[in-house]
Structure 1
Amino acid sequence: MATAKRSVIAAAVTVVCAVTVLALPGTAFAAPDPASTSSGAPPAAASTTRAPVTNEELEAVRQKLERLYRAASAATDAYNAAEERAERQSAELVELAGKIVEGKKKLAELKNRTGAAAAAQYRTGGLPPEAHLMLSDDPQEFLDGTGRVRQGERATRHLLEQTTRTQQDLELYAADASAQLKQMEAGRKAKATAREKIERRIAEAEKLESRLEKKERERLAELERAAAQRAQNAWLDTGALDGAAGKASEQGEKAVKFATAQIGKPYEWGAEGPATFDCSGLTSQAWASAGSTIPRTSQEQWRQLPRVAVEDMHPGDLIIYFDDATHVGMYIGDGTMVHAPRPGRTVTTAGAGSLPILGVVRPDGA
């Protein structure tokens, strides 16, 4: 799966290669000056060196990369949501198909019984049962037969009602199946659109980073770490964790153990393990390992799971980041969380406040 995605991303890079990805103020690479030449002398070979990228320029690159990867993260959440809907709708379609098959069998059986009743009436000359009773010479037979006629009438009426209900059920199942198919088609298009956005943003980011030399990429990584540390310090300075000493529940401990065991594994959008993860793939699988099924995406985790105050966080709780809830990490204690950050990075620990916190949810509600 990862190889196929890398091939798609490589193709996307080719498509966007004409884009000037470093067209930020002060980040365009400088072209060498023409070499001075004496009269009649051939021009010197053009230099391939360029001016070093300054820290200010690298900071601009860092901020652009952050925007690109955040856009990719939002698209990943949309992709995962569409994938989850498709799985649910597929299961519902299978269930509907089973109901339709059973309904057709039942309808065929009812029609056979109705046909048998009609044949019996034909064999009696088409006279209703009441007429046969009225023509009977035996009064006791007449009285005994009256009850049987009433029972037969009720059975016939019940048979017709069953047939009508079964036909109505089949029509309803067919309409539901048609609606599900339309929704699946809409979901397929939503997935395709999200995939395109993900691959385009990642390709742009990879292209941007590829223009940097090794030492510049190292300086860029240091700028990322410094920005995260500044955010963490500012968050701690608010006193958000003062006095917080909550302990993990039994399930929370299991979830933390699973998540931290994945440290070092690569990020891959749409992945739920075991070799690669995206942010919500990591948290949902960690809680699944603890015996609790939670929503697949960070946005649905934020929407559906019980919320707790930041100062009441316990290890195992999920920290939802950014105003649009497009990133999630798992709190593991001491102001630290574990998460799958972004493409090109691995599952790692980081300061719980190193990203803008939207809120905290507790999957087990303990």
Structure 2
Amino acid sequence: MGNHRKPSLPSRARLAVLTTAVVGGAVLAAGTAHAEPTPTLASVKEQVDNLNKEAEQAIERYNGFQEKRQSLQGDANRIQDKIARGQHALNELRTSLGAVAGEQYRTNGIDPGVQLMLDSDPAGYLERAAVQNQVADSQAALLKQASDAQRRLDQDRAEATAMLAQLDAAGASLDEEKKQIQAKLAQAEALLNKLSAADRARINAQESAEKAKAAAQQAAAADRASRSAERPAPGAAAAPATGSAAGTAAGTTAGPAPASASGRAADVIKFATAQLGKPYEWSSTGPNTFDCSGLTGAAYRAAGVKLPRISQDQWKSGPHIARGDLQPGDLVFFYDDIHHVGLYIGDGKMIHAPRKGKNVEVLPISVMPYVGAVRPA
């Protein structure tokens, strides 16, 4: 019988080396497989801002499609009503034609010459014949009216069919834009949800700091402009601060001081001010929530002026105003594609509805890429 010796156990030192190698290798492999770079707060904020910007662009397109669909629906309703009235008129014409045709059938069975010979009252017959000729003429006129009515009815039905097809297309566009908006907002929310409460607070603090910085820069620019305007020319007496000097001293960017709001502008600003703190909601025109163009449209509506629904169309609602000539009540627009609008209130500030998750607020117009201003006609 051969010797069966138990294999010798590894020493404690060797066990320690093996354990370290195995565990270290596993950790290294796991780190290599799953490690992802941790996004910085700045990169998260940039992504969220971009997603919100894209969402707002889609919201304005959505509002445009919605306005188009409402207009098409109104046109479709009117043409359908026109078709119903046309069909009723055609039915009445056909009834009249049927009566005339029946009368002709009853009297045209005998040759007119024979009828005259057999008639006991030839003079009466001739009178009846004249009447029959009038009936024939009337029938011809009715036939033409019926033919024209049928042609118009066919045209109206073709127009209604085309309009309903446009309505379906507008509805499909609405659905697609709605999906895009929801997807962008969901992505932004998902990014924010990955952050801790402290990090989200830091992002909000950064936004507040950016707004404060913009306001301070604007105030400094206004102060510099004021000092420049107040400095008298060599040999000239200093003039009282009026016009542009007074305006910049009050905090405007340049040019003459904005007149204190009165009349229509006062009504517009009064309404907008009353909405401060109300939540932003995309595609909303009030009364409890607003998007950007929904707020400006509602403010002007309160003053008896109807503005187009979307910001790009509001941009065409009146003459364009130079930045230095801004007055309270003017509409101010932002970004190259003009997808954001606010209401100027003076002092280089506006009231606007910002984006989802925010409320209607006052903000310096220098915070966003300014494009221009309009004074609605």
User: How far is the alpha carbon of 1:340 from its aligned partner?
Assistant: 0.7
AA partner of residue 344 (structure 1): G
For residues 98-136 of structure 1, the C-alpha deviation after alignment (integer angstroms, 9 at most, x for no partner) is 111111111111000011111111121257999989998
How well do the aligned residues superpose, as a CA RMSD in angstroms? 3.4
Q: 3-state DSSP class of the match of 2:315?
A: helix
Change (3 A) 1:158 1:228: farther
The one of 357, 363, 366 equivalent to 1:353 is 366
Which TM-score applies when normalising by structure 2?
Answer: 0.74
User: How far is the alpha carbon of 1:75 from its aligned partner?
Assistant: 0.5
Change (3 A) 1:124 1:275: same
The one of 47, 52, 57 equivalent to 1:74 is 57
Residue 226 in 1 paired to residue 209 in 2?
Answer: yes
* Whole-angstrom CA distance in 2 between matches of 1:131 and 1:107: 37
User: How far is the alpha carbon of 1:61 from its aligned partner?
Assistant: 2.7
Q: Is the 8 A contact 1:59 1:223 kept in 2?
A: no
- Bigger fraction of residues in helix: 2
Superposition pairs for residues 62-211 of structure 1, below 5 Å? Answer: 62-125=45-108, 137-138=122-123, 152=135, 155-211=138-194
Change (3 A) 1:83 1:129: farther
Residue 283 (structure 2) aligns with: 270
User: How far is the alpha carbon of 1:223 from its aligned partner?
Assistant: 2.0
Change (3 A) 1:132 1:230: farther
Q: 3-state DSSP class of the match of 1:353?
A: helix
Residue 344 (structure 1) aligns with: 357
Q: 3-state DSSP class of the match of 1:330?
A: strand
Residue 266 (structure 2) aligns with: 253
Residue 293 in 1 paired to residue 306 in 2?
Answer: yes
* Whole-angstrom CA distance in 2 between matches of 1:296 and 1:165: 40
Q: 3-state DSSP class of the match of 1:163?
A: helix
Q: In terms of Rg, which structure is larger? A: 2
AA partner of residue 102 (structure 2): A
User: How far is the alpha carbon of 1:243 from its aligned partner?
Assistant: 1.7
* Whole-angstrom CA distance in 1 between matches of 2:217 and 2:128: 94
Change (3 A) 1:182 1:130: farther
User: How far is the alpha carbon of 1:326 from its aligned partner?
Assistant: 0.6
Task: Point out the more displaced range, 321-330 or 120-129.
Answer: 120-129
* Whole-angstrom CA distance in 2 between matches of 1:338 and 1:129: 88
Task: Point out the more displaced range, 211-220 or 91-100.
Answer: 211-220
Task: Point out the more displaced range, 162-171 or 338-347.
Answer: 162-171
Q: What percent identity do the matched residue pairs reach?
A: 35
* Whole-angstrom CA distance in 2 between matches of 1:129 and 1:314: 88
AA partner of residue 241 (structure 1): A
User: How far is the alpha carbon of 1:141 from its aligned partner?
Assistant: 8.9
User: How far is the alpha carbon of 1:242 from its aligned partner?
Assistant: 2.8
For residues 70-115 of structure 1, the C-alpha deviation after alignment (integer angstroms, 9 at most, x for no partner) is 1000010111111111212222222122111111111111000011
* Whole-angstrom CA distance in 2 between matches of 1:164 and 1:357: 60
Q: Is the 8 A contact 2:67 2:309 kept in 1?
A: yes
Residue 200 (structure 2) aligns with: 217
Residue 232 (structure 2) aligns with: none
AA partner of residue 333 (structure 2): I
